[in-house]
Chains A and B, each alone.
Chain A
């Protein structure tokens, strides 16, 4: 049976401001698989995730990004999100005055409207979220606070995972979800991610460290260096990288 590709990045050249970052990047994400991108600092990992979700900083010079066989490079960030793309931010922005519950319900109901489902009222929504808060080890009052305001690093990441669990996207980018997490938070966050695995949903995990891969079992590892994927392999590649670093890697 041929593998089904959810995201297909073709010869992508992208810049941030005047600086060229992605230089002919090719990447295919398979349905139901956990892909991991590793690479040295400045390789373009975060630019790649920003480009997929349509961040205003990024500028595509050439190439294409196909999601479920359709180009998404001209779509707004919200259209990409509604089609099922979700990115967990490395540094989620704080938004004082925007209530976390209200924000999340607005996002969920926007998606439900898009999919032709009925909107949830405040009570229905909150009962649903209450269960998820418990699973993620989050205090109920977190949902009543301003979005990410005054949250610790771990709380911010848990909040990202909560959003992911509520919105149930098809393709999830986890941009350094493990940075700044202690062991307990890493376990809770990883459990949240593992619960989302259903054989159809795809993941792109961007990380510096192999630590999170002990919890989220990856299927395919890619190495990103100087704006290109230079190597793709099975999970054993992680050990190889741990041992010898990125310097010795040759282009595939």
Chain B
């Protein structure tokens, strides 16, 4: 990997990122943030960078990004899309891979929202045996309300290393709801998403991440929140086989009366290892702030593992704070209740797992997105390519119960 960086011709952003990377160095086994995520196979491999075709970008309803290149995007008057060589990056990110991503990305995909709107981004991976570095930035000006649904497909790729992430600026009193669904099918692919979000005064950042499936995937999030700003960060993980998937985050309360809620639910099956290593820091400028952090994990069998490390670092007295972490099995009384109605132990377990996951999906306000996420989860959980009728869809109930 080192040789990739050496021979590169760099623009100003890449130069800044490289200088930071050289200062802190690539992560090793001893790097705290990568303690539960072995990065040696990524480090040691001599990666080829993916090459993109010269096909021109076209217009479509949704954004489509294939192997890190925008193939199509909406011709929407509410959006300003550019491919910039130089952008401002965070100068103090905890994650070296944030800087590696910026160093290796030729152009940054920049999306500026001009009015309230909703966009869908499909990130599709088709490459074989390649490194795919690219970065996306979102600029949400003051008082604008946006919803971004970001969906991943890796069915046709093999042995890839994706190094990506977002730089998000949320203006004063603006709202950004980012829903990211990553269902991964390849257990030999590696994903590192390193994000930075700045939430200005009165802004709200609702982040919902859904990681289902296999492989190695880590999201590293740094978020800074200013006066009266909020972040609501929800993470649902279902990992199986030998996968190693999780979240490492640092939420920093810079401003007074800022609020953070972080909730993580994790379901680990087979020999999967889950990670929730999350720090919330309230600085002494964060008077009157509130934070609530919670992580719950269910281990479905021996051999599954969860590294859960919720942490609070508070430098001021006048705050409201709570955090907790539980790792366990399913509730015995709930299991018994279902079994006492003739439902087998195996089926009862499935129902309770769905219930555990549904709580994170049902907080999404948009019904179509909710249904899509239910379907994604159930497909991954039941290991089915398609499901005609998902268990959590209640459309026929509505219809039949309203019949006269």
Contacts and interface: CB of A to CB of B under 8 A. Distances in A.
B344 A96 contact: no
Contacts of B355: 95-98, 146
A130 interface: yes
Interface stretch (A9-17, A104-112, A208-216, A217-225): A104-112
A122 B397 contact: yes
Given A96-B359, A98-B355, A81 B397 contact: no
B397 A114 contact: no
Contact of A106 (B347, B389, B396, B400): B347
Contact of A110 (B342, B359, B392): B342
A144 B400 CA distance: 11
B339 interface: yes
A172 B348 CA distance: 22
A123 interface: yes
Contact of B334 (A93, A122, A141): A93
Contacts of A80: 340
B401 A163 contact: no
Nearest to A125: B400
Given A93-B334, A103-B338, A78 B397 contact: no
Given A98-B351, A102-B391, A110-B347, A77 B358 contact: no
Interface string B315-341: 000000000000000011110111111
A82 interface: yes
A107 B341 contact: yes
A243 interface: no
Contact of A144 (B334, B341, B397): B397
Most A CB contacts (10 A, CB to CB) among B339, B362, B403 go to: B339
Nearest to B400: A126
Contact of B343 (A78, A122, A130, A140): A78
A70 B387 CA distance: 41
B390 to A, nearest CB: 10
Given A93-B333, A93-B334, A144-B397, A87 B340 contact: yes
B210 to A, nearest CB: 15
Interface in A182-200: none
Contacts of B352: 95, 98
Interface in A68-106: 76-78, 80-82, 86-87, 89, 92-93, 95-99, 101-103, 106
A167 interface: yes
Most A CB contacts (10 A, CB to CB) among B333, B347, B348, B359 go to: B333
Given A96-B359, A144-B401, 9 more contacts: A78-B341, A89-B337, A95-B337, A95-B338, A97-B356, A102-B351, A107-B341, A111-B342, A167-B341
Nearest to A130: B401
B6 interface: no
Given A99-B394, A122-B396, A140-B401, A93 B342 contact: no
Size bracket of the A interface: 35 or more
A51 to B, nearest CB: 13
B386 interface: no
A81 B340 contact: yes
Leading 5 A-B pairs by shortest Cβ distance: A97-B355, A81-B342, A107-B341, A97-B358, A126-B400
B354 interface: yes
Most B CB contacts (10 A, CB to CB) among A106, A123, A143, A144 go to: A106
Contacts of B345: 76, 78
A110 B351 CA distance: 14
30 contacts: A56-B336, A76-B339, A77-B340, A78-B339, A78-B340, A78-B342, A82-B342, A89-B337, A95-B351, A95-B352, A95-B355, A97-B358, A98-B351, A98-B352, A103-B343, A103-B351, A107-B338, A110-B342, A110-B343, A110-B347, A114-B342, A122-B389, A123-B396, A130-B400, A130-B401, A130-B403, A143-B401, A144-B397, A167-B341, A167-B342
A93 B358 CA distance: 18
Given A97-B358, A126-B396, A144-B394, A81 B401 contact: no
Nearest to B344: A78
Nearest to B359: A97
A103 B341 CA distance: 9
Most B CB contacts (10 A, CB to CB) among A86, A102, A141 go to: A102
Most B CB contacts (10 A, CB to CB) among A56, A97, A163 go to: A97
Contacts of A93: 331, 333-334, 337
Most A CB contacts (10 A, CB to CB) among B332, B342, B356 go to: B342
A53 B337 CA distance: 11
Contacts of A126: 396-397, 400-401
